[in-house]
């Protein structure tokens, strides 16, 4: 039924709708059961649903009470075969005036009762489906909780526009930076970032550069031109990704995660976010802060990574 693709609120609403529908069906089934039982108890081999048959049925039933059970089939056949304009006399001659049984033919057409046994079976099947759906909803809410997002669960594009999963960096400490080629902070920051990457990387640490042209239009080139500029002028060995937007409705989801987690939105180029091996934001730095303030935090994360690997051995 597609139940397991929805959130807890949507699942709860769907479950309540099913219970409401089950209540309606249960009420109708109860009515059908009581009505069907009465019709079954009073039914003869022929139905009384034909037009005008109800009056004839009452008349014949009254006669049966007077004459005994031995005349039941004869009188019922008469009541269904002929229209009786007035109630017959309860005396013996009235019965004698009726046509002979040998001349009467039974009706070949039968009329089913209004309520029948298969409806109860349908209700049982429907109720079973409702109960199974309820069990699935409970299991979904209890055991299939949606996995929380982290930085490494996102996908981005490289400088050539190819999809890259950040999952490949899980287990490392990463420093995510919004870079620009024509900014007053370009030289100082690119040199410091490459120094940091060379000192701590690449086994347990890496810098991830995301070009952005939203601050002073200081990154006008294409993604491949930006990568060539960084490698040619500063010899960077860390990855430079596709140019993105980090502000507004078109913001890159991965970078938006960093902003939402840190509660700090970049106001200029070269804002830096330190991400743990588990994909959580640890700390952020503004562009004017020296690179020396970042090194102790990076070193601390790397020590934790190494200690964890030793414990796992």
Closest CA to 197 of 188, 207, 209: 207
Residue 1 lies in a domain: no
Q: How confident is the model at residue 5 (pLDDT cuts 50, 70, 90)?
A: very low
Residue 16 and residue 26: Cα distance in Å, rounded? Answer: 15
Residues 275 and 195 in one domain: yes
Give residue-wise pLDDT tens across range 55-76: 555 555 555 565 555 444 544 5
One domain, residues 127 and 174: no
CA pair distance 67, 64, nearest whole angstrom = 5
183 is catalytic: yes
> What is the SS3 assignment for 269?
coil
Residue 91 pairs in a beta bridge with none
Q: Exactly one of 32, 58, 137, 183 is catalytic; which is it?
A: 183
Domains contained in the chain, number? 2
Confidence of residue 129 (pLDDT cuts 50, 70, 90): confident
Tell me which residue range forms the domain holding 44.
8-143
97-111, 199-213, 292-306: least confidently modelled range:
97-111
**What CATH number should be reported for the domain holding residue 227?**
3.40.30.10
Instruction: Say whether both 227 and 274 belong to one domain.
Output: yes
Cβ atoms 298, 205 nearer than 8 A: yes
102, pLDDT greater than 60: no
DSSP 8-state code for residue 293? G
**Which residues have a Cβ under 8 Å from the Cβ of 126 and sit 6 or more positions away?**
22, 25
Average pLDDT over the chain reads 76
| Same structural domain, 307 and 197 | yes
Tell whether 203 and 247 lie within a shared domain: yes
* Residue 208 pLDDT > 60: yes
Which residue would you say has higher pLDDT here, 141 or 284?
284
Reply yes or no on whether the pLDDT at 4 is more than 60. no
Residue 249: count other Cβ atoms within 10 Å of its Cβ. Answer: 5
Radius of gyration of the chain (CA): 42
Angle at 72 between CA 38 and CA 102, to 5 degrees: 135
* Model pLDDT, residue 11: 54
């Amino acid at each position: 039924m597609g139940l397991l693709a929805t959130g807890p609120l949507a699942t709860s609403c769907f479950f309540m709708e099913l219970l409401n529908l089950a209540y309606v069906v249960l009420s109708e089934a109860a009515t059908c059961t009581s009505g069907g039982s009465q019709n079954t108890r009073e039914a003869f081999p022929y139905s009384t649903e034909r037009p005008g048959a109800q009056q004839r049925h009452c008349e014949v039933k009254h006669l049966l009470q007077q004459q005994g059970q031995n005349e039941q089939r004869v009188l019922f056949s008469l009541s269904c075969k002929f229209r009786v304009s007035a109630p017959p006399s309860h005396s013996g001659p009235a019965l004698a005036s009726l046509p002979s049984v040998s001349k009467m033919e039974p009706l070949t057409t039968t009329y089913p009762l209004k309520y029948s046994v298969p409806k109860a079976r349908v209700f049982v099947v429907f109720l079973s489906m409702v109960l199974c759906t309820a069990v699935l909803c409970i299991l979904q809410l209890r055991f299939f909780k949606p996995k929380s997002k982290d930085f490494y669960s996102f996908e981005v594009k490289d400088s050539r526009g190819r999809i890259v999963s950040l999952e490949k960096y899980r287990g490392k400490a990463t420093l995510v930076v919004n870079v620009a080629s024509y900014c007053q902070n370009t030289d100082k920051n690119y040199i410091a970032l490459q120094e940091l990457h060379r000192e701590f990387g690449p086994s347990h640490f890496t810098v991830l550069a995301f070009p952005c042209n939203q601050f002073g239009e200081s990154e006008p080139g294409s993604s491949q031109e930006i990568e060539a500029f960084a490698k040619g002028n500063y010899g960077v060995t860390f990855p430079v990704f596709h140019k993105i937007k980090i502000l507004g409705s078109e913001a890159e989801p991965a970078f938006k995660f960093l902003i939402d987690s840190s509660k700090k939105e970049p106001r200029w180029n070269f804002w830096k976010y330190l991400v743990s091996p588990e994909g959580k934001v640890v700390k952020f730095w503004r562009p004017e802060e020296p690179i020396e303030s970042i090194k102790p935090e990076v070193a601390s994360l790397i020590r934790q990574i190494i200690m964890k690997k030793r414990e796992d051995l």
